[in-house]
Structure 1
């Protein structure tokens, strides 16, 4: 979880770089406006699924809580996997009255730590009441993350004792992407952060499992809708090391 507050800036068409996690954005400000590639708009608190980019953010007086959930955890917390393709869903549509009550408590909280505690308690309740993913699906996702997306699907199916077809079907229904696309997203995320750290596209391609620089370019365009050069300068990635350090697990920003 991370808290974001910027009272003096107007966000205009900020493109969100895809990330291998389901993201909850709880808005406390004057109305964050989110739109996607299908030209649909949401105001306020939303859930961003896995998948390609095309999601943009606009708004003034930003004040909100962003929560990243492993898709394995999100399946139970949100009671289903968000639709494939990076879908945006209103938080109220998934949690109903629970979402409204939780947001009211979060807005009334006096400190970030209090907000984090309220959000964590709500997530734990939802997780305990939800249905977990199949252990086999959880295992395959963890292997993808540990290998940074450099893994073939067929050996993973053999590891869990499933056919390729069964793994494809169960993984997609519970995670929101096919196994192949999910592995590509994990690899893309590693490459994107290497680009943002200042490494050249040629070096990143060679060290993250792409056939060549053109392959990296196509993958970045496919996920983010922009070139590797633009991804390297993306504001959304620039704050990652500050907002999401390896430890501690909670941070607040102003």
Structure 2
């Protein structure tokens, strides 16, 4: 099994964090936890399915997964090969006019947001690519062909920065006041650009910060206090929603 990170071409770097080229010779079922990136996956060999409540739903050769407030379970075939594309928090708008929040908790084919002809061409070129350099070149060409000029909403970019700076432990009402914007337009603009509400985004940021600290020698009480949970019961409930397990069970 391999999971190799590769940078996109410089023109795409402000909008795409990185590509991942992943291969696995074995059929496996695995869990993906919520993150702050929308992710596109192109299968250049093998196939992938989503598993939910014992139902197995085959996924498209190429698909996009939006932000989520819960874990997802996937099952891959043997000899799967995938290129994953991780967007920056505000990157998607530079490639499609579709609001990002339409993809919340969804895994759909990318022809939902991109022209079908371009998608099929990229899929075919990836299937023929002989090595990682050729796969990256296919991805760069695909996204450069879709790239468009957009006047970025700097207020939302600043909101995202402040949420990260606070590790997700932030009062959204106070954030609105600091940015001099009322609730309704703030929520609408944030959801459209980032893919979920400011409150849910902050909870995902907080979860990932907790995950970074979980392996350290720290008690649950300390984590609850640092990350603003009312008590351990609330912390455990949130953690189980994001991972399907309790903190102790996760360790």
Instruction: Flag structure 1 segments of 5+ consecutive residues without an equivalent.
Output: 233-254
Distance change in 2, residues 1:108/1:183 (3 Å)? same
Distance change in 2, residues 1:140/1:206 (3 Å)? same
Q: Does 1:100 align with 2:120?
A: yes
- Structure 1 residue 111 displacement after superposition: 1.8
CA RMSD of aligned residues (A): 2.6
Indicate the structure (1 or 2) with the bigger Cα radius of gyration.
Answer: 2
Higher helix share goes to which structure? Answer: 1
Q: How many residues align?
A: 229
Distance change in 2, residues 1:130/1:82 (3 Å)? farther
CA distance in 2, matches of 1:71, 1:36: 26
TM-score norm. by structure 1 comes to 0.78
Task: With a CA cutoff of 8 Å and minimum separation of 6, indicate the structure with the bigger relative contact order.
Answer: 1
Q: Which consecutive segments of 4 or more residues in structure 1 shift more than 4 A?
A: 35-40, 130-133, 196-200
Q: Deviations over 1:19-72 (max 9, x none)?
A: 111111111122111245796832422111112225221122221111211231
Distance change in 2, residues 1:224/1:130 (3 Å)? farther
Give the structure 2 partner of residue 65 of structure 1: 83
TM-score norm. by structure 2 comes to 0.79
CA distance in 1, matches of 2:235, 2:178: 29
Q: Does 1:118 align with 2:135?
A: no
CA distance in 2, matches of 1:139, 1:69: 17
Q: Deviations over 1:81-139 (max 9, x none)?
A: 1426421111222222222112222222222133223323433443x326455221222
Distance change in 2, residues 1:150/1:11 (3 Å)? same
Distance change in 2, residues 1:225/1:136 (3 Å)? same
